[in-house]
Chains A and B, each alone.
Chain A
């Protein structure tokens, strides 16, 4: 990679997404620089989660283009026509993006270790011994080294979510999408998961896109906050600025409601 690479990690160009008549995103433009930690806030239905799902190809945009590190992802322009990119090329971009889900979504038919090494071995083609070694290092990092051979069904929600974080990191993603990762956890388990994520933010340069209601966490980890409403970014600022002196009326209202 060239020095002083200014290509954004993520770029949305005029992205629109509709579910039937419901317009979720409308001509959305924004970009995220490499290594940025961006938190998306806003009322539910404002399109935050949809942005993550578009980046994971769990949904497909109706208009516009999405670039990952300069590469067109799901669609590209051929002349002035927007054409879909075939699955094989999408896959090459997709494996640079990781996602952690609200519901963890660990595979119950595999042990903790198997969950983590499955994709590195079969998708990235890593040798098994190497995949196991890095999985063990990741488990150590999330504080679950002793759960290596446990079944996922035997773990608490917080432990499952930490395994899910390790599983997505095992793919060595350039971009990590965090979709309300603490929302389905019991309050006393939230701190562990946030601690792990804080540690990852401090020790790696992975670009992070975070949808969360944990404003304190957003404040500590992210360097930029985007406030969404009605599928548009209505305010954008550093966390200290937006949380202490929001300018937009909707942002003030939203923060008053949740803080």
Chain B
């Protein structure tokens, strides 16, 4: 076991690289997915079929095809004739993750916007707020808190999906796990370390997303502000963030004291 730990310490630089690559894939993929989600989500709600039909087709296509095949397609097929497009492996990973999870997230955007109460749309029309203004100032601020928990799920899936990048020569966390196994010849140890790495990674992202959710809800006048939540304890756990909403009255009382 101490040999294993020694190998792990020796491989720390590789672990660092793996974390960076996985982080790059995750953040790059998530930003692209967010852009794709809003573009296709709004597109699917458009009045003209020229925006709606292509949006639906793209969403259904990327939801309905395998992420592995998409990554391999970008990496192995695009450089071939007639395309001759050779992409950096990191770019392949980011594009595949962004399109795939963006297609799922487009449904989240569309559904959340549609679930803002009809009366809110009508009140905005009655005040003669134009369509863009209506969306930006009235509908989206209310749809956003509905989107975040679903985005969190997709983000965690995206982190795990990013492990596929090891198969197109990227040195991510998954690649590091295999490297560790080669070095230690201890399969149980290596893959357990791999599991833990992904778990910690996903968990940290969950905490960030939970903070975003608290903030978005507090802006709607539901639940405490992020500052109030963080003031409860310097170190936050997921349970604290979750439990903070019902405890809002106490939090406010504490503030005044």
The interface stretch among B19-27, B130-138, B191-199 is B130-138
Select the residue from B127, B133, B137 with max chain A CB neighbours within 10 A: B127
Q: Please name the residue on chain A nearest to B140 by beta carbon.
A: A109
> Are B125's CB and A118's CB within 8 A?
no
Interface of B is mostly: helix
> Are B129's CB and A105's CB within 8 A?
no
Q: How many residues of A contact B (CB 8 A)?
A: 29
> Are B120's CB and A107's CB within 8 A?
yes
The interface stretch among A96-104, A227-235, A246-254 is A96-104
> Are A168's CB and B126's CB within 8 A?
yes
**Does B235 belong to the interface (CB within 8 Å)?**
no
| A145-183 to B contact mask, C-beta < 8 Å, 1/0 | 000000111100000000010011001000000000000
* Set B119, B127, B130, B222: member contacting A153, Cβ < 8 A: B222
Which residues on the A side are within 8 Å of B133 (C-beta)? Answer: 122
Bound: A38/B42 CA distance, A: 41
Bound: A139/B125 CA distance, A: 22
**Does B128 belong to the interface (CB within 8 Å)?**
yes
Which residues on the B side are within 8 Å of A154 (C-beta)? Answer: 221
**Does B111 belong to the interface (CB within 8 Å)?**
no
| A49-60 to B contact mask, C-beta < 8 Å, 1/0 | 000000011100
**Does A123 belong to the interface (CB within 8 Å)?**
yes
> Are B221's CB and A98's CB within 8 A?
no
> Are A108's CB and B220's CB within 8 A?
yes
> Are B221's CB and A152's CB within 8 A?
yes
Tell me, rounded to whole Å, the shortest Cβ–Cβ distance linking B235 to chain A: 29
| A80-117 to B contact mask, C-beta < 8 Å, 1/0 | 00000000000100110111010111111100000000
Tell me, rounded to whole Å, the shortest Cβ–Cβ distance linking A119 to chain B: 4
* Set B123, B127, B130, B142: member contacting A109, Cβ < 8 A: B142
> Are A123's CB and B221's CB within 8 A?
no
Bound: A118/B210 CA distance, A: 30
Bound: A98/B122 CA distance, A: 11
Which residues on the B side are within 8 Å of A106 (C-beta)? Answer: 123
Bound: A119/B133 CA distance, A: 10
**Does B56 belong to the interface (CB within 8 Å)?**
no
Select the residue from B142, B219, B220 with max chain A CB neighbours within 10 A: B220
> Are A56's CB and B126's CB within 8 A?
yes
| A31-75 to B contact mask, C-beta < 8 Å, 1/0 | 000000000000000000000000011100000000000000000
> Are A101's CB and B123's CB within 8 A?
yes
Bound: A151/B224 CA distance, A: 13
> Are A151's CB and B221's CB within 8 A?
yes
Tell me, rounded to whole Å, the shortest Cβ–Cβ distance linking B203 to chain A: 30
**A interface residues (Cβ-Cβ under 8 A, vs B):** 56-58, 91, 94-95, 97-99, 101, 103-109, 118-119, 122-123, 151-154, 164, 167-168, 171
Can you list 7 pairs linking A and B with CB atoms under 8 Å apart?
A: A58-B125, A58-B126, A105-B122, A119-B128, A123-B130, A153-B220, A153-B222
Which A-B residue pairs are the 8 nearest by beta carbons? A151-B221, A105-B123, A119-B127, A153-B221, A109-B141, A105-B119, A95-B128, A99-B126
**B interface residues (Cβ-Cβ under 8 A, vs A):** 117, 119-120, 122-130, 133, 137-138, 141-142, 219-222
